Structure 1
Amino acid sequence: MKKEVRIALYIVSIVCVILLGAAMIYAAHHGGSIRQKDSRQTAATAGTEAAEDSKDKNGESDLKTSDKTDGKNDAEAGKDAASEDADKKIGKNTETTDVTEDTTLMFTGDVLFANSFKTNYDAGGIDAVIDNGMKELLVNADITMVNEEFPFSNRGTQMEDKQYTFRTDPSYAAALKKMGVDVVTLANNHILDYGREALSDTFTTLDGQGILYAGAGDSVERAQEVQVIEVNGKKYGFLAASRVLPVAGWNVESAVPGVLSTYDETRFVNAIAEARSQCDVLVVYVHWGLEHQEKPEAYQRTLAQKYIEAGADVVFGAHSHCLQGIEYIDGKPVFYSLGNFVFGSSIERTMAVEMVVDKDGAISYKLVGAKAENGKTRQMNELEQQQLNDYINSISFGVTVQDDGTVTPQ
């Protein structure tokens, strides 16, 4: 081979090596990952979505036993489910970044996937259950939390001598993801309606969806474990417990799996104090009070004081199935009950609470009014929102709800 040809080939090979190296360097800096809208990572890998459209329509009332004859066996729903919202990922102990923007959290009250929900969801998906305005608020929030007032399961034995018992096929867990839910409280008086098998299935189903759960577990330690989500460089912790249990045996200290009880508040108060050092913002969600009563019981206010003193930044309540008032204790708000959110065919008034944490750690709260008609929850219009603001002002303690729904202490 002529000398000139060898030199030319040598030069070409050097150029190819340089171009290949440049391409690798560019790929390392620009290619490798899909940008998330925040720092959260999912506990479950994205894959095929859970089956959504379980056809189990029936003519029972929403307040009758739910799913007693549900014969579907969708065992994979809790194992191989994935979020349709790929940029809304959650998990514990993820890497943090510098805080450069505000973080938004949304909280709602009781959620029950029973007959009105199923009828609407089977017919039109999540858009037939929640209107677009409210759905977007929940989905676009960095973290959304609700009270899940039922187990996900097709197993278990219905509790005897209990007026209302609930159970929902695990395939419907996909609806929680479509609502933007990241964490739920299971500490309530319906989560063991079908026994411990159904509660175990609920854990599996939520794990499969990448949804965290607080207030129940397969051990005392798990039930009282703070659930942590990191967003924008801050750790947000979530704890839950119930002061309403049908029988003492539901207490996780009596048998497992079970619910964390706060009849004797000592364990829960200690859990709050321990969690305080593990997160920047600590949220407590408790099941308490009397049904259909707009004023909290004296014991609720006493417990709230203890929770705040132990380290809670905010306390949310449920169980009354109606809204209760708001109170600031030592500068921290207590929302005694958020009422029903997706629960039956009609809800006269309810609300979500928007909690915004700015980059400096300052926290603000805003009420977003809602109501349900024909099983669909929708955001209130301006007039309805003002009426809600006035109503909450009338039942609260030293609190002002401004025209835009912002909540401040007087």
Structure 2
Amino acid sequence: MVKVFICGDIVNYQKNDGLICSGSLAKVVAEADYSICNFEAPIEGFGEPQPKSGPHHYQKKSTINGLKEQGFNLLCMANNHIMDFGTVGLMGTINEAKKLGMETIGAGVNFEQAYKPIIKSIGDIKLGIINACEAQFGVIDYFSGLEQSGYAWINHSFIDKQIIKLKKECDFVIVLAHAGLEHYNIPQKEWRWRYKHFCDLGADAIIGSHPHVPQGFENYNDSLIFYSLGNFYFDSKNFINKEDRSYSIVLRLEKNKKMNFEPVFHHKEQGIVQLSMQEKQIDFKILNSNLDNDYEKLHDQMSLTVYRKKIKPKYTFSLLHFPFDGTIKSSLKRILATIVGKQKKKDKDTLALHLLRNESYYFAAKHALELVFKDKYGGNK
């Protein structure tokens, strides 16, 4: 039997030695035959911050060596921060990984490199791996040239073709997906259908990241879908004091048998990711129940909330010539923060572009407005 360990998002600003796991958790990682993480940002020292609307994340150069030392083998780079410091930042990170004997997937200096899957022969198992992210900053999509650097787009038709091709060549196919609304514990309907479509094409497991919080999992036909593993180790300003209770998975692969798994529960304590005792473990029953009976209601509430509190104010601000985002109070806070230097002056065209490109925001805004329309006029949308 082959064991594959997979965890969620990693950004390391604080740990100079790059060692982010406790000894007991590192043992779990190292004892797997192959271990994978989402490497959420490039390493420091390469490139310059690129023009974009959101934060620029980076991490200690030592992080890659620390991950290798603690048992990791593959860094997933199809995510919305990997291009924060441009092509130079991306290549500095990839080259450092290669120098240390680590593999990378999901991003590159051109289309071919970014979209190239990995095929691993581990024991008697041949494993195909794909890594892709929703459209955000850094995506290589239909409007990108073949020589443009960036990451693989999860809705590109080439991803579908890869799954079909890998299924013919491999015993198992895994898609590592980076998509969804941040900080919500249920997936959007569009991603549920996309992931199930991947399974119909031949994927044996879809493992999600990006929401920063754990979401549930479900069996779909003979495949497994984990909608979000949540943060593994994230110590940026917004997360440094959070426990990030979440989970990783160990996939168990046996030839001619259905894939199964075991969860690995963990949280951050004293700056280290620790294995969680029962009282600090996430409740799978609750997360999974959110995918069933109350899903439609919860999904409607989530779409309306994120549209009204996050998307609409940002759209309003980006489209007006003066600094107004829909309310006087929040607009005054924004102006004051800019004056005192706590917030940089926004390039409104860039903000509008990145809002429009963000697929999860588009899905949420569209659904929220459909609900508003239906409430006003009833009947069809």
Q: TM-score, normalised by structure 1?
A: 0.65
Q: 4+ residue runs of structure 1 moved beyond 4 angstroms?
A: 247-252
Label 1:224 to 1:163 Cα distance change in 2 as closer, same or farther (>3 A).
Answer: closer
- Contact kept, 8 Å, 2:139 with 2:152, in 1: the verdict is no
Pair 1:109 & 2:5 matched: no
Structure 1 distance, partners of 2:268, 2:84, is: 25
- Contact kept, 8 Å, 1:151 with 1:167, in 2: the verdict is yes
Tell me what 2:130 maps to: 239
Tell me what 1:394 maps to: 289
Tell me what 1:282 maps to: 173
Tell me what 1:367 maps to: 263
- Which consecutive residues of structure 1, in runs of 5 or more, have no partner in the other structure? 1-101, 399-410
Task: Encode CA deviations 1:283-328: one digit per residue, 9 max, x unaligned.
Answer: 1011111100111111101211221122111001111000112122
- Trace 1:11-410 onto structure 2 (pairs within 5 A): 102-115=1-14, 117-118=15-16, 121=17, 126=19, 129-246=20-137, 253-254=144-145, 255-262=147-154, 264-344=155-235, 345=240, 346-358=242-254, 360-385=256-281, 387-397=282-292
- Contact kept, 8 Å, 1:215 with 1:260, in 2: the verdict is yes
Task: Encode CA deviations 1:31-77: one digit per residue, 9 max, x unaligned.
Answer: xxxxxxxxxxxxxxxxxxxxxxxxxxxxxxxxxxxxxxxxxxxxxxx
Label 1:243 to 1:181 Cα distance change in 2 as closer, same or farther (>3 A).
Answer: same
- Contact kept, 8 Å, 1:154 with 1:167, in 2: the verdict is no
- Contact kept, 8 Å, 2:118 with 2:129, in 1: the verdict is yes
Q: What SS is found at the alignment partner of 2:42?
A: coil
- Contact kept, 8 Å, 2:139 with 2:153, in 1: the verdict is no
Tell me what 1:49 maps to: none
Equivalent pairs: percent with the same residue?
24
Label 1:214 to 1:397 Cα distance change in 2 as closer, same or farther (>3 A).
Answer: farther
- Which consecutive residues of structure 2, in runs of 5 or more, have no partner in the other structure? 294-381
Q: Which has the larger radius of gyration?
A: 1
- Contact kept, 8 Å, 1:196 with 1:256, in 2: the verdict is no
Label 1:145 to 1:273 Cα distance change in 2 as closer, same or farther (>3 A).
Answer: same
Q: What SS is found at the alignment partner of 1:277?
A: helix
Label 1:327 to 1:265 Cα distance change in 2 as closer, same or farther (>3 A).
Answer: farther
Q: What RMSD, in angstroms, separates the aligned Cα atoms of the two structures? A: 2.2
The offset of 1:250, in angstroms, is 7.9
The offset of 1:152, in angstroms, is 2.5
Structure 2 distance, partners of 1:389, 1:383, is: 13
The offset of 1:347, in angstroms, is 2.6
Label 1:184 to 1:247 Cα distance change in 2 as closer, same or farther (>3 A).
Answer: closer
The offset of 1:373, in angstroms, is 2.0
Structure 2 distance, partners of 1:258, 1:251, is: 13
- Contact kept, 8 Å, 1:150 with 1:190, in 2: the verdict is yes
Structure 1 distance, partners of 2:52, 2:144, is: 23
Structure 1 distance, partners of 2:72, 2:64, is: 10
Label 1:134 to 1:397 Cα distance change in 2 as closer, same or farther (>3 A).
Answer: farther
Q: What SS is found at the alignment partner of 2:183?
A: coil
Label 1:234 to 1:362 Cα distance change in 2 as closer, same or farther (>3 A).
Answer: same
Structure 1 distance, partners of 2:30, 2:248, is: 13
Structure 1 distance, partners of 2:234, 2:43, is: 16
Label 1:218 to 1:140 Cα distance change in 2 as closer, same or farther (>3 A).
Answer: same
Structure 1 distance, partners of 2:153, 2:194, is: 13
Amino acid at match of 1:217: G
Amino acid at match of 1:390: K
Label 1:271 to 1:359 Cα distance change in 2 as closer, same or farther (>3 A).
Answer: closer
More helix by share: 2
Structure 1 distance, partners of 2:287, 2:229, is: 11
The offset of 1:219, in angstroms, is 2.5
Number of matched pairs: 287
Structure 2 distance, partners of 1:142, 1:182, is: 9
- Contact kept, 8 Å, 1:252 with 1:261, in 2: the verdict is no
